[in-house]
C-alpha cells in the first residue's frame, strides 16, 4: 500500500466513489470508522489533509495490479469447501435483498442462520 504521496505509482483505490448502498464515499466511511478511536487521540487528526490523499496498492514484485484480481469471490478462492460455498451464496442473496430494499431482516436471516454454526464459527 502506498499512502502519503499526492501522485502514487500503484493502482489508485477509488475511495471517492459513492457507495450505492450507503450513500457515502468509501473514504468518508473509513474516516467515520477512524473517528471512533477517540481514546487514541484521533479526533484531532481528522481534519488532516493526509486523510484526503490518494491511496494506492503496489504488488510486492513491482508488477501492475489488475483490479479484477481483487474481485475474486470467497467461493472461487476456496472452491470445493461446502461451508464456504453455502456462506457465499447466503451472503450474495443477502446483498441482493438489501440492495433491492427488501429489508435488513432478510439480510440478517441469510447472513446468520439461527442456531447453525458457520464452518465452525459460533456466535
Does pTM surpass 0.75? no
Residue 6 and residue 66 share a domain = yes
pLDDT over threshold 60, residue 96 = yes
Residue 76 and residue 66 share a domain = no
Residue 63 and residue 82 share a domain = no
What domain range includes position 51? 2-70
Residue 51 and residue 7 share a domain = yes
Is residue 63 one of the residues assigned to a domain? yes
- pLDDT band per the 50, 70, 90 thresholds, residue 7: confident
pLDDT over threshold 50, residue 100 = yes
Residue 49 and residue 29 share a domain = yes
Give the contacts of 55 (CB within 8 A, at least 6 positions apart). Answer: 1, 2, 3, 8, 12, 13, 15
Amino acid at each position: 500500500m502506498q499512502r502519503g504521496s499526492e501522485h502514487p505509482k500503484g493502482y489508485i483505490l477509488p475511495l471517492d466513489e459513492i457507495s450505492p448502498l450507503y450513500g457515502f464515499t468509501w473514504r468518508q466511511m473509513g474516516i467515520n470508522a477512524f473517528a471512533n478511536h477517540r481514546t487514541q487521540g484521533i479526533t484531532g487528526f481528522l481534519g488532516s489533509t493526509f486523510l484526503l490523499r490518494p491511496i494506492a496498492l503496489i504488488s510486492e514484485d513491482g508488477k501492475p495490479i489488475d483490479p479484477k484480481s481483487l474481485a475474486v469471490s470467497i467461493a472461487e478462492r476456496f472452491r470445493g469447501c461446502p461451508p464456504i460455498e453455502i456462506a457465499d451464496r447466503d451472503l450474495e442473496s443477502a446483498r441482493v435483498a438489501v440492495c433491492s430494499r427488501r429489508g435488513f431482516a432478510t439480510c440478517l436471516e441469510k447472513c446468520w442462520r439461527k442456531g447453525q454454526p458457520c464452518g465452525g464459527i459460533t456466535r
